[in-house]
Structure formats: structure tokens, C-alpha cells
Amino acid sequence: MKVLIVNKHFEDGFGGSEIQCDIVASYLTKFGHNVVYGIVNPRKESYNVDYGWVPIRKPFRVHFGRVLKNVNPNVVYWRYNKYHLLPVALLTRNYGVPLVFHVSAISDTEHWLASGARIFNFKDSKKGGRFLDFAKALLWNVRRFPGTVLNYYGFYLVDAVICEKDDDMNKLPVKTQVKIYDSATSNYKPFKWDKPFIVWVASLKPIKNPEKFVALAEHFQGRNVDFLMIGTIQDPRYNYVLDKTRLPSNFHYLGVVPTNEEVNGIINSSLFLVHTCNPEGFSGVFIQAWLQGKPTISLYFNPEGIITKNKIGFVSGTMGKMVEDAEKLITDQILRDSMGKRAGEFAIPRFSPEDNIKKLENVLLTAVERRQRI
């Protein structure tokens, strides 16, 4: 089977769904399939990968059409949200190629909500810039609204949908919908730091709320614990993390960490992971932390109630409660270790790449077989 995967690439400084696409591409290649990764707007001339890749540049629809014709895949695995979905679905249908859509965020299942919707937070904005921030967020969403509405109709031409959690199932007008958890490997590269530390991993943009982690660090200044932040700066408002004079003394921005093994190593050496993002997809960093046997504190998001039901961390809800929860895990090693042990026991049988990519392989093969019968 020849599979065309479409998304940005994690080596270009992105994470989440891009990391998952790399895992999918690697394992499908390992399973004997011919994989071509269509990298959207690549930033590099070469990629350290064991599968084929092609660039998809602007204008997107023109380049995607050329790639579809030249690659001639048996199936397209789409993990690029709703961007360009309607023209892509029309093109794949015209070429007789099945299209499998993977839900990566709540906005993917909404008719009216733009992918990556820019959110204005009045409470957290500085007084002097509130109006400008609001105007920018409003303009961003208004400009994307027509395309969002039109692209939703691409789902009527999609062959199958893959969801990461129960909440996203059966929301889209697609008959075949399958739940498959994201995957992660537990391999890690050892990491050393001279103090106990807490870690945060995500892209720095409004929907991830990185400022909340900075604020958490400020509450623990003067204590023997550091706060390490990992991720690419995707919104210039967060450039302040590069200026140590504007940050708590126990806060350290490590920038982009190039490999999953290195990120796993940092998580493995941490006390626990903090997650401040708004609800989106499943959030692969939860999986990484649990596979390393680490509890998680989440400010807002509790996918499928897993954190609370399995007692593998805390879901705080407010900044004040997050400070209290962090205090508990910092000071109570027995609690921290017991939560971490349960996290590992929960994660290992559920997030194995071998098992989950086999499930995905079956969805792709079934889509190809169904299309061939038409």
C-alpha cells in the first residue's frame, strides 16, 4: 500500500500531530508499506527520516494536486486540520483515492470554528494592549471564517475519520469513524539538571497558555525547584521568555528540543509535568509523561477523565488550585511516586505504537478496499 501523509513536520519546530505523523510514517514503513510524507511548507532541505517525503508549498491547492498526481498513492492520511479540506477532498475523489481524516483538535469537529482559532483573553491581556490584541484576534478569525465553513463540507467526501478520544466520536458526517489513541515511544536520552525540576512541553502560543507556567514558577521562587519550558515560540508575544530579566529566577526556557528521545529524557528526570493548554486533541505530551512514569498536573484539560479516574495527577481548574496541587507533588514523594507508578501501568498497554499503528493500518487498508469496490 502506498500512503501519502499530509501535515507539517516536527523537525520544522512543530509538535503534537506532527510528532504523531512521524511515528505513523516510521511504523507503516516498518510494516512494509511505501510511505510518502507530504510536508506542508517545509523549512529544511533534508529531513533525518527513514521514509520518503515531498514538499507541498504555496499555492497549496496547486501543489497538492501535483503531489497527488505524481505520488499516485492508494490512500491519503490527512492530519492537517480542516485547512483546504474541501478542495483536497474533491481532488482525491476525482483521482479515486480514499481520504482518511484524523481529528487533531476540537475545532476539527466544529462547523463554525476555525482550526487553531486565535483566542483573546481579556483578563490576561495587559491594559495598554487589550484593544489591539482583541482587534488582531477578531480579524484573524473573521478572515478564516468563510474558508472554515466551506471546508467543513469536505467531510461529506471523506472515507473515514480517526478520533483520539470518545468526546470527538460521531460528531462529523462520515459513516466510518474509529477511535485510536495516539502513540509514543518510551525510549529516552538521559538528562541531568542540578536541581529538582518540573517540566512544561508545548508550542508557545495563546491556546497553550505558557504564561500560566511562568506564573506557577513565580510562586515557588526561593524553593529548591526549577521550572523548565520546552517548545518553539509561535507567537511573538511570548518572546519575553528569551529575556531572563523578565522571568522568575527559577524559570528556564530550553527552546526547541530536537528529538522525542531527548524530550522523554527531560520528562523522565523531572518531578512531574505541568499542562496548561486549552482542550484540543488528546495531547501527546500526556502520553509521553505517563509512559515515563510521571504524574501530570493539568490546568484545564482532562481527556476522557483519565487523569482523575486513574489518580495519575491533578486537574486544577484554577491558578490557585494548580499552585496547591504543585505543592503537594513537590513535597510528597510517596504521593508523587504512587501516581507515577499508576501512570505507567495505565499507559503501557494503551499507547504502544505497534498496536495503535496496526489499528490505523487496518483503517487505511479497509478504505482502499472499499474504494476499489466502487
Other residues' Cβ atoms within 10 Å of the Cβ of residue 354: 10
Whose grid coordinates read 510517596?
334
Contact 241, 247 (CB under 8 A): yes
Q: What is the pLDDT of residues 111-155, one digit of tens each?
A: 876 655 545 454 444 545 556 665 655 565 556 656 678 999 999
Q: Do 343 and 206 reside in the same domain of the chain?
A: yes
Q: Do 214 and 341 reside in the same domain of the chain?
A: yes
Which of 255, 248, 287, 289 has its CA nearest to residue 272? 289
Q: What is the CATH number of the domain that holds 145?
A: 3.40.50.2000
Other residues' Cβ atoms within 10 Å of the Cβ of residue 352: 17
Q: Tell me, rounded to whole angstroms, the distance of Cα 67 from its chain centroid.
A: 25
State the pLDDT at residue 124.
46
Q: Do 105 and 247 reside in the same domain of the chain?
A: no
Find the domain containing 334 and state its range: 197-347
HSE (side-chain half, CA atoms, 13 Å) at 55: 11
Q: Do 240 and 288 reside in the same domain of the chain?
A: yes
State the pLDDT at residue 110.
86
Q: Do 41 and 158 reside in the same domain of the chain?
A: yes
Q: Do 239 and 264 reside in the same domain of the chain?
A: yes
Q: What is the pLDDT of residues 219-251, one digit of tens each?
A: 999 999 999 999 999 999 999 999 999 999 999
Question: In 242-252, which positions are buried (b, 16+ CB within 10 angstroms) versus exposed (e)?
Answer: eeeeebbebbb
Indicate the number of domains in the chain: 2
Residues of the chain with pLDDT under 50: 118, 120, 122-125, 127
By CB atoms closer than 10 A (0-12, 13-18, 19+), residue 43 is: exposed
Which of 34, 112, 42 has its CA nearest to residue 77? 34
Quote the pTM value: 0.84
State the pLDDT at residue 122.
45
State the pLDDT at residue 138.
52
Domain membership flag for residue 364: yes
